[in-house]
Amino acid sequence: MSDSYPPYGGQQPDPNVTPWSGPPAPQQGGYPGYGPPAQAPQFGAPIPPPKKSNKGLIIGLAAGAVVLVLAICGAGIGLVLVNGDDDEPTTVATSGPSPDAGGTPGTDASPTPGQDDTEKPSNNAVTARYSSDLSNVCEGGQILNAAAYNGPSGAKAYTFSNNPDRPTSWSSKSVGSNKPYYAKSADFETVSVVGCLKFVEGSEGAPKACQYKDSSDKQVTVNYISSRYTLTFYAAKTGEKIGDGGTVNAPAAKCPSFISYNKTTMKSYAAPDSGSIEAALDKFLS
């Protein structure tokens, strides 16, 4: 077999490649195979510099803007944390008062939830239906539908006295209708002052024997007894004591035309003097 040579300009077979291993890998360096040679930069012609792009600058500015926004938001969060009790005093823990609130540092000027400034009525408070119901004030009660007491000027008043035989029984004591504090029975809701005349234990005077005929026309003797009472003024709506009326006498110097008496003891206690009650009311409500 004769030696065969590749055509001029052809590539020498690679002795390291077997016929079945596929085409040889391109050689590094040397001459290229068939076809035009690869383009190479022409010497003498300047290589144009790469075109400047604002992409990096834009990205950088955008990143800077994000940082700036975060910094501003962070400052805003800091302001909320520092000054947050201006807007939401309950969401920020602080030992001092809010900038707009007065008072002692470390105290909360806002009211506690559920807390009410008005005084709560006691269990003895009642809604009056009649004028006589206001006597409950003399037993420590309150009248829910009574007028509020705002001072003596223009106040309307009722007075009640108890009975030595029945200390918890209170009867109304009338005053002159010409008095500025007078109120009709139907106008009990306008009353703001209740005067309570309480019998002074041991204040009984010598009894006065008075002769009467009972319902069966039988002659009876009733011991009519003088005594003393203490007058105390209360606010009808709250039951709060608002003044003292002093001592009011219950004279028994003269036997009355009509009398109520205890059939067992045959005693009757004189009522407090109406003139003394009016004088005490005049002084207190003037």
Burial 143-166 (b: 16+ CB within 10 A, else e): beebbebeebeebbbbbbbbebee
* Mean pLDDT of the region 249-269: 94
pLDDT digits (tens, 9 = 90+) for 71-101: 444 444 443 444 444 444 443 444 444 444 4
β 166-173/156-163 pair status: antiparallel
Model confidence at 220: pLDDT above 60: yes
Model confidence at 26: pLDDT above 70: no
- Does residue 100 sit in helix, strand or coil? coil
CA atoms of 158 and 181, how far apart (whole Å): 8
CA atoms of 255 and 52, how far apart (whole Å): 128
Q: Look at 180 and 78; give whichever has higher pLDDT.
A: 180
One DSSP character per residue, 187-224 reads: GGGGEEEEEEEEE-TT-----EEEEEE-TTS-EEEEEE
Model confidence at 181: pLDDT above 60: yes
pLDDT digits (tens, 9 = 90+) for 100-155: 444 444 444 444 444 444 567 789 899 999 999 999 999 999 999 999 999 999 99
Q: Residue 50's pLDDT is what?
A: 56
CA atoms of 193 and 30, how far apart (whole Å): 127
One DSSP character per residue, 133-170 reads: GGGGGGGT-EETTSPPP--STT-EEEEEEEETTEEEEE
Token digits for 105? Answer: 């540092």
